[in-house]
């Protein structure tokens, strides 16, 4: 690893960075990572050069932190490709576990990324990338993997690659502009919106039936409920008739299930919003995702009416989205507890990250599962993930059964599954 990182330029953190640095997610293993066996010819020197150029192009890869409010960006790369050899597959896997996911990143250290290659022979390598969630989200991860593959292919072809980016701000520029906008009219508009939002929905959501007081570590339970093979097309049909999105359909389905369980007039969940709300950030790497609430108020009608109600609300929620647990301190407001029913989260994808089938030119990838130690990875007590690809349609629920009653989860799943695959009436 390089020992001299050059000059460091100070700047503000973004609100999402501040949330992590302030300890919001300090209790769980916060790695975003993937590993795969690569079959084919791997040019190590080209990979190292591609990684170097990528890190120079994207300042978040050279970012370190002084406090929740202050970051600094170094001139030079902070990490480089680590290379090992192994005589057997088992030895290679153990090396990858130890070096890639063996320990969380330290937020007060330099370097929040790892790239590891373990060679078994000339045409077989184990390849892995890990980043701290502080500097990436799923969209940025996909951008990074895609760009690394493109850079690698160009270096292998003998091209000279520029370290400059075009048409995209640095993450530090984004954070600076975000802070400036927040202190002016842009921020005041969001404050007014969230004041009105909490006046409508209150500052707390009804609790689901609990299993009992937690006295130990969370007890992770995973439930997989199969859906009809045509669930994807049914969800899309309901979304089209409601003039909404498939994501709003499945979120409405969970809200309808929570209504059934709690009997409350208003229920809420968290959803992840990719908050690239400022210009020139489409290709900027960094952490942009923030949790925002979505609620169902009053007596729900049929699926079509319910989806339309929730969709109308979602347009404003996404437009005015901010990490509320952080900005409420500036506003002197209590907004945190309004973000969904005590940590219920809805997603329309499979959790986890992966490489494409050919992440590096001239190789084919076979994914490897590397469980990370140090935590169960359950950021919220109750997470609903809808898998709606044609090969595997199901609703997957991950929850803390030491907190939430299994019967309540089963009821929500029953209601949500019927709702999402209905004919919309």
Which residue matches tokens 């373990």?
118
Q: How far apart are CA 381 and CA 349, in angstroms?
A: 18
Comparing 293 with 301, the larger pLDDT belongs to: 293
Domain edges within the chain: 8-174, 187-343+380-420
DSSP label of 25: T
123-148: average pLDDT: 93
Quick one: which of 222, 254, 208 has its CA closest to 397? 222
Q: What is the pLDDT of residue 341?
A: 46
Element of type H or E holding 422: none
- Residue 216's pLDDT band, with cuts at 50, 70 and 90, is low
Cβ atoms 402, 211 nearer than 8 A = yes
Closest alpha carbon to 330 in 203, 201, 184, 197:
184
Secondary structure class of 307 (helix, strand, coil): helix
Q: Which pLDDT belongs to residue 300?
A: 66
pLDDT band at residue 280 under the 50/70/90 scheme? confident
Contacts 24+ apart (CB under 8 A), 320-323: 320/189, 320/190, 320/193, 320/194, 321/273, 321/275, 321/277, 321/290, 321/292, 322/15, 322/182, 322/190, 322/194, 322/275, 322/290, 323/15, 323/16, 323/18, 323/19, 323/290, 323/291
User: Higher confidence at residue 23 or residue 100?
Assistant: 100
Task: Determine the 3-state secondary structure of 266 from DSSP.
Answer: strand
pLDDT at 343: 66
Q: How far is CA 53 from CA 8, 73, 165, 261, in A?
A: 18, 15, 10, 52
What confidence score (pLDDT) does residue 147 get? 95
Same fold, 8-174 and 187-343+380-420: yes
* Percent of the residues in the chain that have a pLDDT greater than 70, as a whole number: 88
Q: What pLDDT does 353 receive?
A: 56
The candidate with the shortest Cα–Cα distance to 353, out of 32, 105, 96, is 32
**Encoded tokens for 401:** 């059964």
Tokens of 247: 């994501």
Residue with tokens 């045509």: 230
Reported pTM: 0.87
Second CATH level (architecture) for the domain 187-343+380-420? 2-Layer Sandwich (3.30)
Q: What is the mean pLDDT of residues 313-333?
A: 86
In this predicted structure, which of 7-16, 123-132, 236-245, 327-336 has the lowest mean pLDDT? 327-336
Tokens matching residue 346: 């809805």
Q: What is 8-174's CATH number? A: 3.30.559.10
More confident residue, 40 or 323: 40
Distance between CA atoms of 49 and 55, rounded to whole angstroms?
A: 10
Question: In b/e form, how buried is each residue of 229-253, taking b as 16+ CB within 10 angstroms?
Answer: eebbebbebbbebbebbbbbbbbbb
The DSSP code for 402 is T
Lowest mean pLDDT among 307-316, 377-386, 405-414: 377-386
The pLDDT of 299-307, averaged and rounded, is 84
Q: What is the pLDDT of residue 211?
A: 65
- Tokens in use for 257? 């299930």
Q: What is the pLDDT of residue 77?
A: 94
Determine the 3-state secondary structure of 388 from DSSP: strand
Tell me if residue 84 falls in helix, strand or coil.
strand
Residue 302 to residue 304: CA distance in whole angstroms: 6
Q: What is the pLDDT of residue 389?
A: 78
């Amino acid at each position: 690893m390089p020992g001299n990182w050059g000059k460091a330029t100070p700047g503000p953190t973004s609100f999402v960075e501040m949330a992590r640095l302030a300890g919001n997610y300090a209790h769980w293993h916060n790695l975003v990572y993937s590993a795969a066996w690569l079959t084919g010819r791997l040019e190590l020197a080209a990979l190292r050069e591609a990684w170097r150029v990528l890190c120079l192009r994207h300042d978040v890869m050279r970012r370190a932190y002084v406090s929740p409010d202050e970051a600094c960006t170094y001139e030079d790369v902070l990490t480089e490709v680590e290379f090992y050899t192994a005589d057997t597959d088992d030895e290679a896997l153990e090396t990858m576990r130890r070096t890639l996911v063996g320990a969380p990143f330290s937020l007060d250290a330099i370097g929040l990324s790892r790239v590891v290659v373990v060679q078994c022979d000339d045409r077989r390598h184990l390849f892995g990338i890990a980043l701290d969630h502080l500097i990436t989200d799923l969209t940025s991860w996909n951008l990074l993997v895609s760009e690394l593959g493109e850079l690698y292919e160009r270096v292998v072809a003998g091209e000279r690659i520029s370290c400059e980016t075009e048409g995209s701000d640095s993450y530090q520029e984004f954070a600076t502009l975000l802070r400036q906008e927040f202190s002016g009219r842009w921020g005041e508009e969001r404050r007014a919106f969230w004041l009105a939002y909490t006046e409508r929905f209150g500052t707390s959501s009804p609790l689901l039936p609990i299993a009992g007081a937690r006295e130990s570590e969370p007890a992770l339970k995973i439930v997989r409920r199969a859906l009809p093979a045509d669930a994807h097309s049914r969800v899309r049909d309901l979304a089209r008739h409601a003039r909404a999105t498939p994501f709003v359909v499945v979120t409405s389905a969970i809200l309808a299930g929570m209504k059934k369980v709690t009997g409350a007039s208003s229920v809420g969940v968290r959803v992840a919003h990719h908050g690239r709300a400022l210009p020139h950030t489409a290709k900027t790497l960094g952490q942009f995702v923030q949790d925002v609430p979505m609620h169902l108020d009053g007596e729900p009608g049929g699926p079509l009416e319910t989806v339309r109600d929730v969709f109308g609300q979602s347009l404003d929620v996404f437009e005015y989205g901010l990490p509320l647990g952080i900005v409420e301190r500036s506003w002197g407001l209590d907004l945190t507890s309004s973000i969904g029913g005590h940590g219920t989260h809805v997603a329309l994808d499979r959790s986890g990250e992966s490489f494409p089938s050919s992440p590096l030119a001239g190789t084919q990838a076979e994914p490897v599962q590397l469980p990370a130690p140090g935590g169960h990875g359950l950021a919220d007590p109750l997470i609903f993930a809808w898998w709606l690809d044609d090969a595997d349609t199901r609703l997957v629920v991950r929850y803390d059964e030491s907190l939430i009653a299994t019967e309540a989860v089963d009821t929500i799943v029953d209601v949500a599954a019927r709702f999402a695959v209905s004919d919309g009436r």
